[in-house]
Chains A and B, each alone.
Chain A
């Protein structure tokens, strides 16, 4: 990126059921790593594969339907929260599945929000609420792998616990699922991961 090498000799394998944390100082490339795993950045050198198939051989939308990246400061489309959640179900890769409104309500309850939250406008949401909506958007399309970039950075302690519980519950729902998580909070990384990958900036 911009002529800098952020990391080399990076070898990461995420197995089914695993929770991997990525730690590192600001600017060490945690976000870039997750975006690369999500196929949003061209890989400059190296190989990436998912389920034994090289990333280059995956149709991108099909791959991203299963390996979903949630940005640290997610931008949501203008309009009501419910419309933002429904949006992805109009994409060709998700068209075969109906929008699970009941599941959305259920997840919201776990996060301490009632049904009225669905009628709120996304432009009015706080940073933490936007993170929650982005997380729901990702969970509702039922991916195999979640790539979470500081998903609780703007949340208060109670909401952090709720999100952690939500992700753990989702992982236990199917042994094929896995999660990669970045955070500045060392304690949190201990709680939400089975192992930690440390990125150190190239001197």
Chain B
């Protein structure tokens, strides 16, 4: 590869790691009790990234579509699990619902962008497909988990109002519509907020990376614009799909609310 940028050797990484000493010092001084987690997190971050670097080196050398698609499915599956693990209320089949929505939305949008907008040849070129899919998934999973959480909270808290409407002759859709809208709005908010301040408050990581690699800022922002529209479309599609699937699971064909199918999880863990 031609290097329009400075390659970092192990010594330079070592010096960068010294920066964490700053965090450790603050944690010890103020007795935050974070020293252990900081160390574990740092080691995990370094190991995970070095590993992923090796894997991607070989992935980028792939010249057939099947392994690339396979890696994409694994990435989508991991994202869908992470999305569910952030919710506090679940039902049987929620992981499948999340997988179906995440996979479907991310693949449709990324595929359309690769083949129809960016015109990559071949369409599955991993150097484009994998990072774009990764960015779409990272944002999509936030939307899916927020929307699911809001929907389930609504089912739990507003079951009285919902059943009140059902008892007066509402269809399951009429009774659940306010909840569905609220959940979709909640899922879309982070993406809308991000677009609002993009370039003003935040310089997105991908854009920064392209500029470090020698791309002209005017060229880098073009990619960022495409990726933001991809993220927005995928989030809308994915949250809509996951909420509709949850709706079908919690409201049966006899227009009954099956609130007993909702189980509380002690606390949603962060996942990573």
Contact = CB atoms under 8 A, between A and B. Distances in A.
B4 interface: no
B164 A61 contact: no
Interface stretch (B101-109, B116-124, B155-163, B241-249): B155-163
Contacts of B206: none
Interface stretch (A8-16, A85-93, A174-182): A85-93
Given A60-B254, A71-B163, A138 B168 contact: yes
B255 interface: yes
Interface string B192-203: 000000000000
Given A42-B254, A61-B255, A76 B168 contact: no
A91 B169 contact: yes
Interface in A36-65: 38-42, 60-62, 64-65
A40 B168 CA distance: 11
B256 A39 contact: yes
A42 B178 CA distance: 24
B171 interface: yes
Interface in A85-103: 87-88, 90-94
Contact of A75 (B164, B252, B256): B164
Interface string B154-193: 0000111101111111110010001000000000000000
A127 interface: no
A74 B161 CA distance: 8
A71 B167 contact: yes
A69 B167 contact: yes
Nearest to B178: A77
Contacts of A92: 171, 174
B168 A88 contact: yes
Size category, B interface: 20 to 34
Contacts of A70: 167
Contacts of A41: 256
A94 to B, nearest CB: 6
A90 B95 CA distance: 35
Contact of A91 (B158, B160, B170, B178): B170
A104 to B, nearest CB: 14
Interface in B203-262: 252, 254-257
A73 interface: yes
A88 B256 contact: no
A70 B171 CA distance: 17
Contacts of B167: 38, 40, 64, 68-71
Nearest to A87: B165
Contact of B169 (A40, A62, A71): A62
B256 A64 contact: no
B161 A77 contact: yes
B170 A71 contact: no
Given A91-B170, A93-B169, A60 B164 contact: no
A64 B169 CA distance: 5
Contacts of B160: 71, 73-75
B171 A61 contact: yes
Contacts of A87: 165
Contacts of B171: 60-61, 91-92
A93 B172 CA distance: 12
Contacts of A73: 160
Contact of A40 (B158, B161, B256): B256
B165 A88 contact: yes
Nearest to B255: A60
B164 A74 contact: yes
7 contacts: A60-B256, A75-B164, A77-B161, A77-B165, A87-B165, A90-B174, A137-B168
Interface of A: 38-42, 60-62, 64-65, 68-71, 73-77, 87-88, 90-94, 134, 137-138, 141
Interface of B: 158-161, 163-171, 174, 178, 252, 254-257
Given A39-B255, A77-B165, 18 more contacts: A38-B167, A39-B256, A40-B163, A42-B252, A61-B170, A62-B169, A71-B160, A71-B163, A71-B164, A74-B160, A75-B164, A76-B161, A88-B169, A88-B170, A91-B165, A94-B168, A134-B164, A141-B169
